[in-house]
Amino acid sequence: MDNDEQTLATNELTTLPLDHNWYQKLASNFEIIQPYLDKLNTDELGLDDLKNKFDNISDKINIYETNMQAIVNILSNYDVPIAIVDGKVVETEEGE
């Protein structure tokens, strides 16, 4: 697709009567939109790659949180006064 400036006919389509000129403008809109729809269909936008990266980051965050909870649990077993509050490791008062 070239970078020629193409604009959709919008306000112009609300005028009556629905003559051949109106039809041509409507058809032109679809011609402008079609290449973008084709990109979506062939994933030229890289959406699959983006989803894979998001899933990878999400997995790493889950592993990090699991590891952090395990460390806090181990330290708590040795009476180290810490806990996870609002996703952060904080020092607690003895006996909490």
pLDDT per residue rounded down to tens, the chain (96 residues): 444 567 776 666 666 667 777 778 888 888 888 888 877 766 666 777 888 899 999 999 999 999 988 988 888 888 888 888 887 788 887 655
Q: Among 12, 15, 8, 58, which Cα is nearest to 30's?
A: 8
State if pTM tops 0.85.
Answer: no
Neighbours of 12 (CB within 10 A): 11
β-sheet bridge partners, residue 89: 84
